[in-house]
Chains A and B, each alone.
Chain A
Amino acid sequence: MPELQLKQLYDGFRDPRTVAELASQIKQLAAKLDEPVNVMEVCGGHTHTIMKYGLLQLLPDNIEFIHGPGCPVCIMPKERIDQAAALAQIPDVILVTLGDMIRVPGSEGSLAQFRAKGCDIRPIYMPLDALKIAQENPDKTVVYFAIGFETSTPMTAVLLEQAEKLGIPNLLFHINHVLVPPAIDAVMADPDTRVNAFIGPSHVSVITGSQIYQPTVDNYHTPVVVSGFEPVDVMQSILSIVKQKVEGRCALENQYERAVSYKGNEAAQQKVNHFFTVRPSFRWRGLGPIPNSALMLKPEYRHRDAELKYGERLPVKEIDDHKACQCGDILRGKAKPQDCKVFGRGCTPQTPLGSCMVSSEGACNAYYRYAGVK
């Protein structure tokens, strides 16, 4: 059997004719809508697909995208970044974290700035890289600043499992894993919300299954379509939502059947449940504290918890964004990036005031980079 190439996995999902045909079908059907469809794409990955591939330009005016809180970098409050910076300043601590996180400004600067001042901060490509760093530096303490939604939590669980199994004592965790459904509830709890449909991130559902969105459908009478990230995926999901709206239905649909099942990856879920428990409350940047919206280590793994070990050194003061920054409203779907007075002026990817601009998955960053072509 010939080897499967990565290209084969996405080629069909970027087929120009299919995208154009879906756009045409959406336009025809959307003409029958009684009211506008305001679709929240919960995940920043979808925001980028929409902007990068110019999908907005293919859709009729009565379909609007509202960018949700689903970017692990965007939702990280400054005090958590400050805690990471404080950890990195402890002698003989190596702080490791994923990608973009080192660019997010805390109240005293970003982790990249602390690295320039001499702190040992290392961006890694995958959580298991932290294991190697810990093994190679037995005289130091490696702290993994763990971030991400349900998608990335199993990888942290595997890292923890490996550290336990191999008896690596010098690897600690600062857990910032957050959950999608409570964030959706926080958005919908706002009486002024205009959101009346969702596309759900498929990579989250690969782990959790599409089932996690059933309460959203039931509680808010809104369609939810679990969607892949390729242009054809997103266009097909929009078509499904418009169909539901025209037919007066609301249902949970799974566009990404090639990888998502209703129940998801139960082995991964078990692994997560083995190591983590729900945190009573987590303060989201822009959304404030949301109960039961994040994870923490179970008591039996407290020996791995950097928050406990270095507790007295970690700043706890809650710090809001710059007054002019409207990231909060943007994350709630109440404002568009261009509505913000500092967008593209005081706040750019090089000098971000808010995290929606700093993260490559943030809505402001996507609008700044791709939008506005006349």
Chain B
Amino acid sequence: MSTPKQIQLSHGGGGREMAELIGKLFFEAFDNQILRQEEDAACLNMTGPIAFTTDSFVVSPLFFKGGNIGKLAIAGTVNDLAMMGAAPQYLSCGFIIEEGFEIAKLKEIVETMAAELHKSGAKIVCGDTKVVPKGCADGVFINTSGVGRIIKPGISVHSVRPGDAIILSRDIGCHGAAILAAREGLELETELQSDCATLWPMVEQLIAANLELHAMRDATRGGIAAVLNEWAKAANVGIELSEEVIPVRDEVRGVCELYGFEPWDLANEGTFVIALPQEIAADAITVMHQFCNCDQARIVGTVTDTNAGKVILHSPWGSKRYLELPAGELLPRIC
């Protein structure tokens, strides 16, 4: 009997086919002692404060320039831990796979996940696989949960305070624009790549430099507009940004121009924002430039005690406007 090239419902049935899939694909890629125990739950040794997070990934298309859903699933969860000053340690991974999905593609996704795990040293220690009938999912959905040991306590949206500088790690909107460009119906020709990346190595350097970090967040769905609005509301402060200094790639601006979007609303998957005291902002930038592959890191704004709960964007010609929380689906303008 030949080996099937597509996922069958039986791959989720708990029997021989499922055991083979898990053994040959997942265990080989994610191999570690805890996973190999094959117990009902992973037994972990952890001490001290722990950060715990979960995220589900349902991106379409599954493969895009700069990554795929697997890379997103690892980077996304690891980054959520990193943004709390926690060293990512253990991850769980749940797959929901549509019947008929190509096993070769699943292998590619899983191998990308394994490669991405190496960048933070985190391990997948437990998992779950479900197969749903054709039409009930869009290829593959992945859920990852993660725990990490908090190395730098006190990093919180509630710690943002007037006088802080807002630092952006790199140019914005690459992931959102790359996904949009690759979407069926658009298929724009562009060299644009998603910024999808594991941020822990950068955060580790910032922590090693012993900088006073008030808040950090990766600007995923909703872009920097969402992150900064959440901060402004949670900490009851105002945030003022200078449009001129926010780095935006020409290709991203091009996609925004074509479809009537704004780069501050587009998703990022490897770009983060930091709030820290103004006095040490230059030191943080120096660390980021030297050790973190963040050549474009820069101060883009300040935190104020006026306009509490609001983010204000200053234009290059001296006018200003609110930068609102993005709402609804990102739909292109009509004319």
Interface residues of A (CB under 8 A from B): 5-7, 10, 14, 16, 19-20, 23, 45, 51-58, 72-73, 98-103, 112, 123-126, 129, 132, 147-149, 151-152, 203, 231, 349-350, 360-361, 368-374
Contacts and interface: CB of A to CB of B under 8 A. Distances in A.
A149 B331 contact: no
How many chain B residues sit at the interface, stated as a range, is 20 to 34
Contact of A57 (B258, B260, B320): B320
B224 to A, nearest CB: 16
A103 B331 contact: yes
Given A101-B334, A151-B335, A371-B322, 5 more contacts: A16-B315, A72-B334, A123-B329, A370-B324, A374-B307
Interface of B: 185-186, 250, 253-254, 257-260, 307, 310, 312, 315-322, 324, 327-329, 331-335
B254 to A, nearest CB: 4
Nearest to B260: A360
Contacts of B250: 5-7
Nearest to A73: B334
Contacts of A126: 185
A148 B254 contact: no
Contacts of A370: 321-322, 324
Nearest to B261: A360
21 contacts: A5-B250, A14-B316, A51-B321, A52-B321, A53-B315, A54-B319, A55-B319, A56-B319, A99-B332, A100-B333, A103-B329, A132-B185, A231-B317, A350-B328, A361-B333, A369-B321, A370-B321, A370-B322, A373-B310, A373-B312, A373-B322
Contacts of B327: 349-350
Contacts of B307: 373-374
B328 A99 contact: no
Given A20-B317, A58-B318, A129-B185, A103 B334 contact: no
A24 B310 CA distance: 30
Given A6-B253, A7-B254, A360-B260, A103 B328 contact: yes
A129 B184 CA distance: 10
Contact of A54 (B260, B321, B329): B321
Contacts of A350: 327-328
Given A16-B316, A350-B327, A369 B322 contact: yes
A99 B333 contact: yes
Is the contact region of chain A dominated by helix, strand, or loop, or is it mixed? Answer: helix
A178 B43 CA distance: 66
A45 B335 CA distance: 8
A14 B322 CA distance: 19
B331 to A, nearest CB: 4
Nearest to A20: B317
A203 B335 contact: yes
Contacts of B253: 6-7
B186 A373 contact: no
A98 B185 CA distance: 13
B262 to A, nearest CB: 8
Contacts of B329: 103, 112, 123
Nearest 5 pairs between A and B by C-beta?
Answer: A54-B319, A16-B316, A6-B254, A370-B321, A19-B317
Contacts of B335: 45, 72, 148-149, 151-152, 203, 361
B324 to A, nearest CB: 5
Contacts of A19: 317
Nearest to A112: B329
B246 to A, nearest CB: 14
Contacts of A371: 321-322
Contacts of B328: 103, 349-350
A148 B334 CA distance: 7
Nearest to A201: B335
Nearest to A8: B250
A14 B319 CA distance: 13
Nearest to A348: B327
B68 to A, nearest CB: 23
Contacts of A14: 316
Nearest to A100: B331
A371 B257 CA distance: 22
A124 B332 CA distance: 9
A65 B293 CA distance: 47
A361 B312 contact: no
A361 B321 contact: no
B317 A16 contact: yes
A373 B334 contact: no
Nearest to A23: B317
A58 B319 contact: yes
Contacts of B312: 373
B331 A99 contact: yes
Contacts of A361: 333-335
Contacts of A53: 315, 317, 319, 321
A10 B248 CA distance: 15
A229 B59 CA distance: 33
Nearest to A103: B328
A95 B28 CA distance: 46
